[in-house]
Amino acid sequence: MASPMLSTAMAPLQGGMLEFSGLRSSSSLPLRRNATSDDFMSAVSFRTYAVSTSGGSRKAPTEAKLKVAINGFGRIGRNFLRCWHGRGDSSPLEVIAINDTGGVKQASHLLKYDSTLGIFDADVKPVGDNAISVDGKVIKVVSDRNPSNLPWGEMGIDLVIEGTGVFVDRAGAGKHLEAGAKKVLITAPGKGDIPTYVCGVNADLYTHADTIISNASCTTNCLAPFVKVLDQKFGIIKGTMTTTHSYTGDQRLLDASHRDLRRARAAALNIVPTSTGAAKAVALVLPNLKGKLNEPLVSVDFRCSDVSSTIDASLSMVMGDDMVKVIAWYDNEWGYSQRVVDLADIVANQWK
């Protein structure tokens, strides 16, 4: 990528770059003018790991695991399964079902071969007409566009990972509960009064009484941790956020109809101004920050980055005594999917 501000949206690479500019209050601590100010950079850190400490220790492999179903086997659904598989037997989760309208052969092929992630280091193959096998673990594949008709009750599903981007309110996500699932985790900003949790930010507020929860958006998971640190350390009275995002499955490869006229334009040829769910990042708590990164990197260097956000020290700036500009990178699929697994782990570890 030649220019991080211009090329991210044009190149078919995963991840994004987020810019945040904020004004501190006059009563806050003064900032140094140097862009690599020890005070500023030590407060924000360079690499933001959203690692929850609220879920307790992970369940031992010998304990009963939470039965998980994935609804929607698109980019996030497949990334979630890869992330979960990568954690091995220590995970308190057990993926036993996938709902995907594409069928078994397509689900198996797209899981194994990914143009962004590369070939999945696992033995993946179809098993008959209604299941796939991942390293010998058989996962049932069902196909129904109406969540109310899914066999979650008879399969004993504890948690549904709602990855379609469609069922994001209580009425829609609640259909999984009607079908017999006990809880739903939405991998998008929830609508209405659905509780939203960001790992490392406010996931300690999760309680077992929550039956439908949201993991917010990928951009919120990047933005929320370091903005909270800035606010607590220096104070923010005004801020603006801009994300330069890789194109997604919701956009059109060629000009075609879309409810958003800008997203109707060819994704690979245009930088498309659009909305983001990151504005919903409110009521945050102090996250855990650790690690540093201070190199001239570009978007491909953050492919499959496990962390929620990586602060780019060379592009971040302190301007005068009252303004700061922060550039952060994030993998909008892989890093976000790791947080979905983290939040699902929290749900499992607080199961009663």
Give me the active site residues, please. Answer: 218
Is the CB of residue 115 less than 8 Å from the CB of residue 88?
A: no
Closest Cα partner for 194 from 212, 209, 182, 207?
Answer: 212
Give dist(CA 258, CA 271) in Å, integer.
16
**How far are the Cα atoms of 137, 194, 195, 319, 346 from residue 172, in angstroms, in the given order?**
30, 12, 15, 46, 23
Closest Cα partner for 329 from 221, 234, 250, 239?
Answer: 221
In 65-182 the beta strands, taken as DSSP E runs, fall at: 66-71, 93-99, 113-114, 118-119, 124-126, 131-134, 137-142, 159-162
Residues contributing to the annotated binding site for NAD(+): 75-76, 100, 145, 187
Is the CB of residue 209 less than 8 Å from the CB of residue 267?
A: no
Closest Cα partner for 178 from 192, 167, 190?
Answer: 167
Closest Cα partner for 117 from 164, 83, 73?
Answer: 83
Residue 275 CB-density burial (10 A; 0-12 exposed, 13-18 middle, 19+ buried): exposed
Residues contributing to the annotated binding site: 75-76, 100, 145, 187
Is the CB of residue 129 less than 8 Å from the CB of residue 101?
A: no
Give dist(CA 245, CA 299) in Å, integer.
10
Which residue blocks in the chain are alpha helix, DSSP H? 4-7, 38-44, 75-86, 104-112, 152-155, 170-178, 218-233, 334-349
